[in-house]
C-alpha cells in the first residue's frame, strides 16, 4: 500500500498524531489491522462509499484501502551530519512514497519548542535544509561511481550529467521535486533514492480553535490543519461517539480523513471497488490507470489474462441495487483493455488463467 513517512522537529506532536492515526479506536475499530513494526501503522482509508456498497451486497468482509504511516523519529538540525538518529532516519525515509511533515502551530507554553519559539516557517526551513544536505551527501558519494558509468554508455552519461545538475540545484536550496527536470532525467537518478524528489505534504498541528482558520502557505503549499490532541481524543471513541464529537466541534470529518484525502490528491491516486458476497473492497490506483492495470492491483494473473471488466459507476451501482440490477437496467458496461478507470468504479474482472 501507499506509504507515507511522518517527519518533523522534536515536540511538534508527531508521536501524538501517529498514535492517534494507528489507534484501533474510532474509524479503525472494525478492521483488524496489525502494526507491523513499532514505527509503522497501517491505517484504513475512510470511505463512506464502501459502507454503501456493503449495504447492498452484505459481504462477509469489508476491506478498505490502506495507507501505511511510518514514524520517522529523530530529525533534528544536524541529522544529515549524523546528529541524533541521523542515519537510521535517512534509511527509514528512503522507503516511503511521500513525506509528510508535521509542523507545530499550536501555542501551548507548557510544551517546550526546540528552537525556543513557535515559528512554522523557520521549522520548515530547518527540515528542508537537512533533507537537502542529505541529498547532497548522497550525490557526492555517488559521483566517483557515476564518472565511471558515464564513460561506459549514453545512459551513464545522462546519469552523471543529471546528478551534477541536481547537485547544483540542491546547493542553491531547491528540492529535487521543484527542479526543472525531464522525466528521463528524473528516471536517470532514480536509483540514488534521493529524499527531496518525493512529494511533500505539510500538516499544521494547530490549536483546537485554529482548525477552521486560514493558515499561511508553507513552501508554496496549503498545509492540512490537524489538531493532534483532537485526533488523540477521537481515537479513543467508538464510531458514533466520534461523529458526535466532530459535530460538536463543527467539523465534518476527522483530521485523518482529511490527511488521507490530501495524500491521495498529492500522489494522483483514486479508488475503485470490487463487491460481492465474500468481500466488498476498495483498491488504490493512479488516476489515468487502465482496466488491466487496475486488475493487476488485485492479482498479477488478472492483469496478464485480462479479458474485460464489467463496470458500473458507484452511483449506478447504488441506484440499481447492485450488479444484477445494473445489468437489468443496462448500466453495466463491458470495458476493455483501453478503458481508463474512473474514481469509484465498481468492477468485476473477467480473465483467462
Ligand atoms: P514529537 O516529539 O513530535 O513526537 O511530539 P509529541 O507527540 O511527543 O508531543 C510533544 C508534546 O506536545 C506532548 O506533551 C503532547 O501532549 C503535546 N502536543 C502534541 N500535539 C498537541 C496539540 O495539538 N496541542 C497541544 N496543546 N499539545 C500537543
Atom number in ligand 1 closest to CA 230: 23
Query: Does residue 176 carry a pLDDT above 70?
Result: yes
Does residue 13 have a known ligand-binding role? yes
CA distances from residue 233 to 17, 207, 237, 241 in whole angstroms, order as listed: 10, 14, 7, 11
Taking the centre of ligand 1 as the mean of its atom positions, its distance from the CA of residue 227, in whole angstroms, is 10
pLDDT, position 28: 41
Atom number in ligand 1 closest to CA 108: 26
Mean pLDDT for the chain overall: 88
Q: Which residues line ligand 1 (CB under 6 A)?
A: 8, 10-16, 106, 108, 111, 205, 227-229
CA–CA distance, 44 with 137 (Å, rounded to integer): 36
Query: Does residue 105 carry a pLDDT above 90?
Result: yes
Taking the centre of ligand 1 as the mean of its atom positions, its distance from the CA of residue 12, in whole angstroms, is 6
Taking the centre of ligand 1 as the mean of its atom positions, its distance from the CA of residue 228, in whole angstroms, is 7
Residue identifier of the C-alpha nearest atom 17 of ligand 1? 13
Taking the centre of ligand 1 as the mean of its atom positions, its distance from the CA of residue 25, in whole angstroms, is 19
Q: Which is more confidently placed, 38 or 240?
A: 240
- Residue of 19, 20, 73, 108 with the most ligand 1 atoms within 8 Å of its CB, for mutation: 108
Residue identifier of the C-alpha nearest atom 7 of ligand 1? 13
Provide φ and ψ at 286, rounded to 5°: -70, 145
Taking the centre of ligand 1 as the mean of its atom positions, its distance from the CA of residue 206, in whole angstroms, is 10
Q: What is the DSSP letter of 237?
A: S
Taking the centre of ligand 1 as the mean of its atom positions, its distance from the CA of residue 194, in whole angstroms, is 29
Atom number in ligand 1 closest to CA 226: 23
Atom number in ligand 1 closest to CA 106: 24
pLDDT tens track for 119-153: 999 999 999 998 899 899 999 999 999 999 999 99
Taking the centre of ligand 1 as the mean of its atom positions, its distance from the CA of residue 5, in whole angstroms, is 18
pLDDT tens track for 29-83: 344 444 446 678 888 888 999 999 999 999 999 999 988 888 886 565 665 665 5
Domain boundaries, the chain: 288-351
* Radius of gyration for the alpha carbons in the chain, expressed in angstroms and rounded: 23
- Angle at CA 276, nearest 5°, toward 271 and 279? 70
Does residue 250 have a known ligand-binding role? no
**CB-based contact 310:333 (threshold 8 Å):** yes
pLDDT tens track for 294-327: 999 999 889 999 999 999 999 999 999 999 999 9
pLDDT, position 76: 58
Task: Name the superfamily (CATH) of residues 288-351.
Answer: Beta-grasp domain (3.10.20.30)
Instruction: Give the mean model confidence (pLDDT) for residues 242-250.
Output: 90
**CB-based contact 72:6 (threshold 8 Å):** yes
Q: What is the ipTM of this complex?
A: 0.95
Does residue 16 have a known ligand-binding role? yes
Question: How many CB atoms are closer than 10 A to CB 314?
Answer: 20
- Those residues with Cβ within 8 angstroms of residue 208's Cβ, 6 or more apart along the chain or in another chain: 227, 229, 230, 249
Amino acid at each position: 500500500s501507499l506509504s507515507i513517512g511522518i517527519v518533523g522537529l522534536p515536540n511538534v506532536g508527531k508521536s501524538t498524531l501517529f498514535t492517534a492515526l494507528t489507534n484501533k479506536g474510532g474509524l479503525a475499530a472494525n478492521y483488524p489491522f496489525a502494526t507491523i513494526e513499532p514505527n509503522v501503522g497501517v491505517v484504513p482509508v475512510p470511505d463512506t462509499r464502501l459502507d454503501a456498497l456493503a449495504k447492498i451486497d452484505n459481504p462477509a468482509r469489508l476491506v478498505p484501502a490502506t495507507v501505511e504511516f511510518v514514524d520517522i523519529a529523530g530529525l533534528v538540525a544536524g541529522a544529515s551530519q549524523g546528529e541524533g538518529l541521523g542515519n537510521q532516519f535517512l534509511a527509514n525515509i528512503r522507503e516511503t512514497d511521500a513525506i509528510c511533515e508535521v509542523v507545530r502551530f499550536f501555542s501551548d507554553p507548557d510544551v517546550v519548542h526546540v528552537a525556543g519559539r513557535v515559528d512554522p516557517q523557520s521549522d520548515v526551513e530547518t527540515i528542508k535544509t537537512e533533507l537537502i544536505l542529505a541529498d547532497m551527501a548522497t550525490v557526492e558519494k555517488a559521483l566517483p561511481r557515476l564518472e565511471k558509468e558515464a564513460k561506459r554508455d549514453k545512459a551513464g552519461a545522462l546519469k552523471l550529467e543529471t546528478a551534477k545538475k541536481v547537485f547544483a540545484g540542491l546547493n542553491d536550496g531547491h528540492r529535487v521535486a521543484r527542479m526543472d527536470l525531464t522525466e528521463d532525467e528524473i528516471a536517470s537518478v532514480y536509483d540514488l533514492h534521493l529524499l527531496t524528489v518525493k512529494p511533500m505534504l505539510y500538516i499544521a498541528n494547530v490549536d483546537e480553535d485554529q482548525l477552521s482558520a486560514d493558515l499561511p502557505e508553507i513552501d508554496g503549499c496549503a498545509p492540512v490543519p490537524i489538531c493532534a490532541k483532537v485526533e488523540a481524543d477521537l481515537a479513543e471513541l467508538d464510531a458514533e461517539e466520534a461523529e458526535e464529537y466532530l459535530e460538536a466541534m463543527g467539523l465534518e470529518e476527522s483530521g485523518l480523513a482529511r490527511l488521507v484525502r490530501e495524500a491521495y490528491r498529492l500522489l494522483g491516486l483514486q479508488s475503485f471497488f470490487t463487491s460481492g458476497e465474500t468481500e466488498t473492497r476498495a483498491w488504490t490506483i493512479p488516476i489515468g490507470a487502465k482496466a488491466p492495470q487496475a486488475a493487476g492491483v488485485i492479482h498479477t494473473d488478472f492483469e496478464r489474462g485480462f479479458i474485460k471488466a464489467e463496470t458500473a459507476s458507484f452511483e449506478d451501482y447504488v441506484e440499481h441495487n447492485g450488479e444484477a440490477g445494473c445489468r437489468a437496467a443496462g448500466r453495466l458496461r463491458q470495458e476493455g483493455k483501453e478503458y481508463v478507470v474512473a474514481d469509484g468504479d465498481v468492477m468485476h474482472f473477467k480473465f483467462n488463467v
